[in-house]
Amino acid sequence: MRIGVLVSGGDCPGLNAAIRGAVLRGVDVLGFEMIGFMDGWRGVIEGEWIPLDRAAVRGISPLGGTILGTSRVSPLTPEVGVEGIRAKLAEYGVDGLITIGGNGTQTVARILSDAGIPTIGLPKTIDNDLAGTDYTFGFDTAVSIATEAIDRLRTTGESHRRCMVLEVMGRDAGWIALHAGMAGGAQVILLPEYSESLDQVCAWVESVRDRDRAPLVVVAEGFKLEGMEHEVTRAGLDGFGRPRLGGIGEVLAPLIEERTGMESRATVLGHVQRGGVPTAFDRVLATRAGIAAADAAAAGEWGTMAALHGTRLEMVPLAEAVGRLNTVPEDRYEEVRRLFG
Ligand code: F6P
């Protein structure tokens, strides 16, 4: 059996460990021939791939990024579409696909699979917003990096008695902000799922200032200030007038300063939290997911995705993973407030 592997969407730490897990199990143990398409669907469309064997994956687990490259190219265009992908895979002699990606990628995987193209999903994203699995690899590393940033911001914030605002990634789900904020002891944690008013944010900042000297605010990039969506969007336009993600931290810090009189500074962590060496947890999760995907291919369990349930790695139907997001539930958000009142 010839299996094609690809990575699509934003990269994250752990991708290489997942590829290695699938290849060592698939090629060495199950006897597959495996190839890796370069830059996601672009490689499928343009016919660019590399052979994946033991030598290709030797020593790659600790490496960030992906040896296969990635892109946000979608195959579901009028020019390509499901039939175009079917034809390409037939041309390359590929019997099945392992698609490593987040929500967008697994949505495509489901469409292909429903159309009879044998596909297995392998979930990844630093945002941890993919449904059907408890955690995605990449998340733990991003949280570690964001936590270290908080630890560092705290000492400089306390020295100067400033309000430090850290913006982390998380467009639709605030898992990174929630976990890093809790691990780093941030007193204000702002998530895309729960709008807050500027009055409320400033009330929290002022109570921390009076009690703890230097407030630390962690804000996810998708957070919206209640009643101020318009202003925030305007402030978040890039040089070409397009809405820019990643602007909320820089919008919030001056507003806090203006309203509370407390000197405030913003740091946008950006892609630092997506690059570099994966944590041991992410390497283990990614390796296990890779092994599970190869086993599922051998068993003909197409149309499924490798998911973590508690400590168990299980295959779930792709339909369970797509069409909805794993967002932060209210009780997890309220838990943070229980620390600070
Ligand atoms: O999907 C993961 C993510 O990290 C989001 O949190 C973020 O909005 C996005 O990727 C940014 O991706 P890029 O800069 O690669 O387009």
Are 95 and 1 in contact by the 8 Å Cβ rule? The answer is yes
**Type and span of the H or E element at 150:** helix 139-160
Atom of ligand 1 nearest to the CA of 273: 4
Asked if residue 218 belongs to a known ligand binding site, the reply is no
Phi/psi of residue 120, nearest 5 degrees: -125, 135
Interface predicted TM-score (ipTM) of this complex, two decimals: 0.95
Q: Do domains 2-137+278-321 and 140-275 have the same CATH topology?
A: yes
> What's the one-letter identity of residue 57?
V
Tokens of residue 306, six digits: 């490798």
Q: Whose CA is nearest to atom 15 of ligand 1?
A: 10
pLDDT in tens for each of the 341 residues of the chain? Answer: 999 999 999 999 999 999 999 999 999 999 999 999 999 999 999 999 999 999 999 999 999 999 999 999 999 999 999 999 999 999 999 999 999 999 999 999 999 999 999 999 999 999 999 999 999 999 999 999 999 999 999 999 999 999 999 999 999 999 999 999 999 999 999 999 999 999 999 999 999 998 888 999 999 999 999 977 645 554 555 555 554 544 899 999 999 999 999 999 999 999 999 999 999 999 999 999 999 999 999 999 999 999 999 999 999 999 999 999 999 999 999 999 888 77
* Orientation angle between helical segments 175-184 and 139-160, nearest 10 degrees: 50
Q: Is 278 in the pocket of ligand 1 (CB under 6 A)?
A: no
Nearest-5° angle of CA 142, CA 168, CA 125?
45
Distance separating alpha carbons of residues 142 and 282, to the nearest angstrom: 10
Give residue 271 CA to ligand 1 midpoint distance, Å: 8
Cβ(274) – ligand 1 distance below 6 Å? yes
Query: How many A from CA of 132 to the centre of ligand 1?
Result: 20
Report CA(230)–ligand 1 centroid distance (Å). 22
Q: What is the architecture, at CATH level 2, of domain 2-137+278-321?
A: 3-Layer(aba) Sandwich (3.40)
Bridge partners (DSSP) of residue 249 are none
Would you say 189 is a known binding-site residue? no
CB 102 within 8 A of CB 26: no
10 Cα–ligand 1 center, Å = 6
Q: Please provide the DSSP assignment of 178-225 as one string.
A: HHHHHHHT-SEEE-TTS-B-HHHHHHHHHHHHHHHSS-EEEEETT--B
User: 127, 140, 282, 295: which is the annotated catalytic residue?
Assistant: 127
**CA 128 – ligand 1 centroid, Å:** 12
Catalytic residue flag (residue 127): yes
**CATH for the 140-275 domain, from 3.90.1570.10, 3.40.50.460, 3.30.9.10, 3.40.50.20:** 3.40.50.460
Would you say 72 is a known binding-site residue? yes
Q: Where are the domains of the chain?
A: 2-137+278-321, 140-275
d(CA 200, CA 208): 13
127 is in an annotated binding site: yes
Pick the atom of ligand 1 nearest to 142's CA. 4
Residue nearest atom 11 in ligand 1 by C-alpha distance: 10
For the chain, the distance separating the N- and C-terminal CA atoms, rounded to the nearest angstrom, is 58
Confirm if 230 and 130 have CB atoms less than 8 A apart: no
Query: What pLDDT is attached to residue 337?
Result: 86
125 is in an annotated binding site: yes
